[in-house]
Amino acid sequence: MAKSINVSGRMSVERFNGEFQKTFGVRCNVKISKWVNADGKATLASIRPKDFKGPSKVDLSIVGNMTVGTLKKRFEENFGVMIELYIGRKIAPDDVTIGAIREGRAKASKGEKQKETAPKTPTPDSIEEPSSTINLGIKHNVEINGDSVFRCCFAIDYSYYEQQSGDEGPDDFVFIYDFKNGSIISYDSRGADLDYVRVPHPDENFLGEWSISQGGDDMDDNVVYCQDTTIGEDIEGEYQDEMLKVAETITGEGFNILADKVLDKIK
């Protein structure tokens, strides 16, 4: 008998994620926007957008021969939210079936990292939303064209994650941070168990790879890549000098402290 699950609006996000992985052996992640994960305790019906015009009653059947793209479409039609599936640490492409991922016959696009799409630079209104802003208090006087909100990324200790969780984790962790106000705008666990996500080599105070970026729909038009205390291993974008100055102001040690505090705050 083909593997399948029936999904209703009364099902919690946490339960759905668990049943999906148990049934298909594939990890998934429900998201209320491109950058924000759905609350695991909330029901699928309750996370629908306020202006959602889909069916009020849902009985969605998911089967193994369904493609990722079809699942995404039906999930959005029924709940108005996003869903992503993973092949190891990478995001599954739309043209493969759930069964193919389970059986190891599907591959992510060449060179495609398990990377979420960041939103446009947050507006003041979205920054003030209590549900998406977490005050941390670590501030730096950095900005480009008056914008102090940056996309921050660092490589996690994935060996530790796999040892502790028995599962594959993401390669890195990304969060949007307002350095002027010292607040976390948003972050994405990428379906990982945050209890096992940590900065690399915490006892040695060695951060590893990290980057800061800003600008464009994905907040990555201008980006500076760094390695521990080495600033600016590579720089891209129109504002390269400004991005280098931002990274030099924060420093590798400062980013390490920030990354560690962010994880402590959201766990």
DSSP letters for 28-46: EEEESSSS-BPPTTSBTTT
Q: What domain count does the chain have? A: 2
Are 92 and 137 in a shared domain? Answer: no
Are 137 and 211 in a shared domain? Answer: yes
pLDDT of residue 119: 36
Q: Who contacts 66 (Cβ-Cβ below 8 Å, separation ≥6)?
A: 97, 98
Token pair belonging to 168: 């594959």
pLDDT of residue 118: 37
Q: What is the pLDDT along the chain (267 residues), one digit of tens a residue?
A: 457 899 999 999 999 999 999 999 998 989 887 667 788 899 999 999 888 888 878 889 999 999 999 999 999 999 999 999 988 767 889 999 999 998 888 776 543 433 333 333 333 332 223 344 688 999 999 999 999 999 999 888 877 888 888 887 777 888 999 999 999 988 877 777 888 888 876 555 556 789 999 988 778 899 999 888 889 878 999 999 999 999 999 998 899 899 989 998 887
Are 85 and 9 in a shared domain? Answer: yes
By C-alpha distance, which of 238, 264, 242 is closest to 138?
A: 264
pLDDT of residue 203: 58
pLDDT of residue 126: 26
pLDDT of residue 66: 92
> Which domain range does residue 153 map to?
124-266
Question: Does residue 51 fall inside a structural domain?
Answer: yes
Q: End of a domain among 67, 102, 137?
A: 102
Q: Who contacts 37 (Cβ-Cβ below 8 Å, separation ≥6)?
A: 29, 30, 31, 188, 189
How far apart CA 75 and CA 102 sit, in angstroms, is 20
How far apart CA 90 and CA 110 sit, in angstroms, is 10
**255, containing H or E segment:** helix 252-266
